[in-house]
Structure formats: structure tokens, C-alpha cells
Amino acid sequence: MKSMFRVPTLLAAPLAFAQQATQAQVDRLLEVMRAQETVDTMLPQVQASQQQMVAQLTAGQQMSEADRAKLDAVIAKSNERIAETLSWETLEPLYRDIYARTFTGEDMDAMIEFYGSPAGQKLLDKMPQLMQNTMTAVQQLIVPMLQQLEQDLREQAAAE
């Protein structure tokens, strides 16, 4: 009976001895991953995606100048919130904490080596394009769903 309890303890032993990542490792990883640069390039893409989504949702609709001005004000306020939320100053502490809690020192060293390599840097170079392509693809799924929701709400309002 005792041997049953030793097996899980032995399997867990490597986890218990895993070296926690140091702040220096986290700093180096964020540096070689160009985390701040990635965050900074993400903001205009998110804002452009929002603009595109609003344009698609309002396509073909007649809007007065007053309604257009109100919509533009809402978009501007939303862009301010997005800029504040997605700023490096806001995200850096989150990144540091998440990486330090998620990865061991050994993991960090391996990722530093990879992202510091030409292959890792090439991946980082392509990441904004990958993110934009992903956002565009997801948007193509979401816009028709939102249009259907809008139609359903109109039909429900008309029925009432």
C-alpha cells in the first residue's frame, strides 16, 4: 500500500525542484521577444479592426451628420480606452507576472535561446502579419453573427 503513495510523490519530484524563473530571465525574454514592440504594433491593428467592424456594421445605413458625429465620438472614446488598456505601461506588469508564474528558469532559458535565434526573430517579424490575418479571419466570422443579432433584435422589437 505504501508504494502506491510513493509513485505520485516521485513523479511530482521534478516539479518541486524546478527552478523558478528570475526577474532577470523574465526581463531578457521580454527583450528578445520584443514584447513592448509587439504591444505597440498591436494597438493600431486593434483600432483599425474596430473601425473596419463599425464600417461593416453601418454599411448601407443612412446616418445623419449628428448620428455620424455621435458614432465617431463613441469610436474615439473606445480608441482611448483601448490605448490605455493595451499600453505597455499597463501590460508589462501582467506579462512579467504571467511569465514568471508560468515558466521555470529552464523554460525561460530555452525560450531566450529560441527567440534570440534567427528563426525566433523571423517568427517575431511575422507575428504582426499573423495577428492581422487572424483578426481579419475572426472578424469575418463575427460580423455576420452581429448582423444576424441585429436582425433578430429588430424582428423581436417589431413583434412586440
Q: Cα separation of 113 and 126, whole Å?
A: 18
Mapping DSSP to helix (H, G, I), strand (E, B) and coil, where does residue 1 land?
coil
Q: Model pTM?
A: 0.63
Mapping DSSP to helix (H, G, I), strand (E, B) and coil, where does residue 17 land?
coil
pLDDT for residue 112: 97
CA dihedral angle for residue 32, residue 92, residue 20, residue 12, rounded to 10 degrees: -110
Mean of the pLDDT values across residues 69-89? 89
pLDDT for residue 93: 96
Q: What percent of the chain has pLDDT over 90?
A: 41
CB 25, CB 108: distance < 8 Å: yes
Q: Please check the confidence at residue 88 and state whether its pLDDT lies above 70.
A: yes
Domain boundary assignment for the chain: 20-143
Could you tell me the three cell numbers for 30?
521580454
Q: Is the dihedral of CA 20, 22, 23, 29 positive or negative?
A: negative
Indicate left, alpha or beta for 21 from its phi (over 0: left) and psi (-120 to 50: alpha): beta
User: Helices (H) and strands (E) in the chain — how many of each?
Assistant: 7, 0
pLDDT for residue 11: 53
What are 49-64's pLDDT values in tens digits? 888 888 887 888 888 8
pLDDT for residue 12: 52
Q: Please check the confidence at residue 103 and state whether its pLDDT lies above 90.
A: yes
Q: Please check the confidence at residue 18 and state whether its pLDDT lies above 80.
A: no
Split at pLDDT 50, 70, 90, the class of 48 is: confident
The mean pLDDT value of the chain amounts to 86
Q: Please check the confidence at residue 38 and state whether its pLDDT lies above 60.
A: yes
